[in-house]
Structure 1
Amino acid sequence: MALGALTEPLDQSTSHEVLLEFPDNRLLIDLCGEYDRNLADIEQKLGVQIVRRGNQLSIMGVEEARTQAAEVLQALYDRLETGRAVEHADIDRELRMGAQADPAPGDQLEMFRGGAVEIKTRKKLVEPRTDAQKAYVQSLFEHELAFGIGPAGTGKTYLAVAVGVSMFITGHVDRIILSRPAVEAGEKLGYLPGDMKDKVDPYMQPLYDALNDFLPGKQLAKLIEEKRIEIAPLAFMRGRTLANAFVVLDEAQNATSMQMKMFLTRLGEGSRMVITGDRTQIDLPRGVPSGLADAERLLTSIPKVSFNYFTSRDVVRHPLVAAIIEAYEADTKPG
């Protein structure tokens, strides 16, 4: 429930001012951020001036900008009221999306409306930040096979691993298996130092990074040693049946068609499988078709398989990442 009182203008002689009033001073301090850096961020992005007066924020600027700033501040305050923190990514999301965000198709998000969506892990609560991410998380819990397709920075892998850890610690699966194609990008694996594990670990590092966010270090090391959590190249999946496991294939655009078919047919009883990829970052040799594209073409008609798509609007990394993706997308459009 929105508690901020909105008045426009502040007084009858002011034509370019919106006043927001917030009842909880402690939440207002969090809303403003350390040294008012949250307010400064909004000011810079929208070209407005925000002045704090007691438990009120006065917003000055052109009508459209000050209205958007008021909506962003109110949304962030509402978030604080639910006990969640406000981070830079939350501000960026509200600035880029806010009330203009496109609703998800159909009733896919009904179970998430009216409350926060949180994934519980041992170290932190993970919250999908956009409608596309919420729909994706819902599909991971509801479907045995789900695809997440979109550009870098949209949380495809991070959220998949978070859901996997959540299902593991609640006993829904016995193992977590994370895999990636070890595609050589300019450097042959054989020339890299060390044994096979040393050679492939750099390719797997993003998966280790995600797990380290969700599980304490000692516990993670023990689970890996016990093989209850496995991180391995895609080629190592051949011949296995993955039962009672949460399985993630990351960077699936770099799997060949044969590798993709091999991986998909590993799905065993009691397991869930997530395939993530970015169609714009294929590192396969020229002329070798992407297994992700083939799977998308062949499996979309199967009702129990979920396909979830992300755009630059779902990027939750640095705001520049979204701008970079949009620039490349614009350059590839005809005309």
Structure 2
Amino acid sequence: MTVGNEGGEQAVRPPMSDSQEFHKTQAKVVIPDGQPMVSLLGSRDELLRVIEKAFRADIHVRGNEITITGSPEESGIVVRLFEELVELVTSGAELTPDSVERSIAMLRMTTDRPAEVLSLDILSSRGRTIRPKTVNQKRYVDAIDKHTIVFGIGPAGTGKTYLAMAKAVKALQDKHVNRIILTRPAVEAGERLGFLPGTLYEKIDPYLRPLYDALHDMLDPDSIPRLMSAGTIEVAPLAYMRGRTLNDAFIILDEAQNTSPEQMKMFLTRLGFNSKIVVTGDVTQIDLPGGQESGLKVVQNILDGIDDIHFSRLTSADVVRHRLVSDIVDAYGRYDAAVASEPREMAKRSRGRR
């Protein structure tokens, strides 16, 4: 792909509003021969419209040439965007409005290259490839490769558990470990297993169902019962980890915000030789009864800074569910912050009246 600048530049003011003129420059991007333009621009120019909406620049397409006219900064980002999109398509990635929007956000806000982030294959299974979709997700996946214990902390929908499970399945397929162990605390919303009706399986199944669902996305469903009966994959409540040493295993603790500090210590000390632990949770969704302290909150103060232990923090910007989920997470964050500040404001007013 070739890139060039054309035409003169007009010395006028940068854009502040639609009515103001700005310093214009023109750049041209030539897409390589053999690269279908529809793969870059989308069916009926769907992806091109996403790009046009995101930039204060005029974008014109003629054949395999794309001409961008706008401020030097905006034009430069658009040129880089098309370079990254061409590389993504060449690597086999299928562009979507979401991936284009995320690529634009990366170019505007980080130094990371979208082609490096969005083309990283974690696991290919059942006709689909699992890849990180944000910069923080890639950093999280990279941390899992580099460290023995990784904490993935962030709101719902950021891929914490799903990406960890993809890495676990990949490690098993590559024979880096002999088994996968998936666990969750089975005490949520004040319910204890002994007081719930039904058999043991019926009691624990609702808590562990999300882990089974993810496994079915990544493995042949017919192979899962065989792997579980052989002990190659184990899905069990956290209480079942007590007293064990887990060697040659990829171990994932999900919903870790609902562990007590004692449970967290118990779990982490199960680590055996040639094993890896990933702990995931959302400290804004603690379901422990009676205001009990969360082990996930406490462990950050205890273990942060220890070599070979890493804390990856994801945010609402990493939510990969419906875009409203990100807005909902942000709205609740603002509400919680406002509620937390009310007692302090009342205390200030009370002191002021004295």
Instruction: Please indicate the TM-score interval, normalised by the length of the shorter structure.
Output: 0.7 to 0.9
**Stretch of structure 1 that moved more, 138-147 or 42-51:** 42-51
Q: Secondary structure at the match of 2:35?
A: helix
Sort the Cα spacing of 1:72 and 1:231 in 2 relative to 1 into closer, same or farther, 3 A.
same
Give the drift of 1:231: 1.3
Preserved contact between residue 182 and residue 253 of structure 2 (Cα < 8 Å): yes
Tell me the SS of whatever aligns to 1:179.
strand
Q: For residue 239 of structure 1, what is the aligned residue in structure 2?
A: 243
Q: Are 1:208 and 2:212 matched, yes or no?
A: yes
Matching of residue 117 in structure 1 with residue 120 in structure 2: yes
- Aligned counterpart in structure 2 of residue 35 of structure 1, from 32, 44, 54: 44
Letter in 2 for 1:200: I
Q: How far has the Cα of 1:61 moved from its partner?
A: 6.9
Alignment of 1:221-300 (within 5 A): 221-300=225-304
| Pairing 1:1-335 to 2, within 5 Å after superposition | 3-7=1-5, 19-46=28-55, 50-59=59-68, 68-101=77-110, 116-123=119-126, 124-185=128-189, 194-333=198-337
In structure 2, how many angstroms separate the alpha carbons of the residues matched to 1:67 and 1:193? 63
One-letter amino acid of the counterpart of residue 44, structure 2:
Y
Paired position in structure 1 for 2:16: none
In 2, Cα distance between equivalents of 1:47 and 1:186: 53
Give the deviation of 1:301 after TM superposition. 3.3
**Contact 2:261–2:293 (Cα < 8 Å) also in 1:** yes
- For residues 127-160 of structure 1, what are the alpha-carbon distances to aligned partners after superposition, in whole Å with 9 as ceiling and x for unaligned? 2233322232222122221111122222221111
Q: Is the deviation greater in 151-160 or in 118-127?
A: 118-127
Residues matched between the structures, number: 325
* 1:17 and 1:60 in contact (8 A); partners too: yes
Alpha-carbon distance in structure 1 between the residues aligned to 2:242 and 2:332: 36
Kindly name which structure, 1 or 2, has the bigger radius of gyration based on alpha carbons: 2
1:249 positional shift: 0.3
Partner Cα distance (2:76, 2:331) in 1: 28
Give distance in 2, aligned partners of 1:170 and 1:84. 23
Change in Cα spacing, 1:71 to 1:227, as seen in structure 2 (3 Å) is: same
Alpha-carbon distance change, 50 to 183 in structure 1, aligned in 2, over 3 angstroms: farther
Q: Which runs of 5+ in 1 are unaligned?
A: 104-111
- The TM-score normalised by the length of structure 2 is 0.78
Contact 1:7 1:20 in 2 (8 A): no
SS of the equivalent of 1:213 reads helix
Q: Deviations over 1:154-209 (max 9, x none)?
A: 22211111111111111111110011122333877678775332332222222222
Q: What CA deviation, in whole Å up to 9, does each residue of 1:203-257 have, x standing for no partner? A: 2222222222221111223212322111122122222221111000011111111
Rounded to whole Å, the distance in 1 between the matches of 2:209 and 2:97 is: 25
- In 2, Cα distance between the equivalents of 1:152 and 1:9? 49
Pairwise CA distance, 1:26: 3.5
CA contact under 8 A between 2:183 and 2:236: conserved in structure 1?
Answer: yes
CA RMSD between the two structures: 3.4
**1:9–1:15 CA contact under 8 A, matched in 2:** no
CA gap 1:115/1:30 in 2 versus in 1, 3 angstroms: closer
**Higher RCO by CA contacts (8 Å cutoff, separation 6 or greater):** 1
CA distance in 1 between partners of 2:189 and 2:86 (Å)? 45
Check conservation: 1:19, 1:56, Cα contact below 8 A.
yes
Distance 2:263 2:130 in 1: 31
Gaps of 5+ in 2: 11-22, 342-354
One-letter identity of the residue aligned with 2:52: E
From the superposition, tell whether residues 241 and 319 of structure 1 become closer, same or farther in structure 2 (CA, over 3 Å): same
Deviates more, 1:308-317 or 1:173-182: 308-317
Q: What amino acid is aligned across from residue 314 of structure 2 in structure 1?
A: F
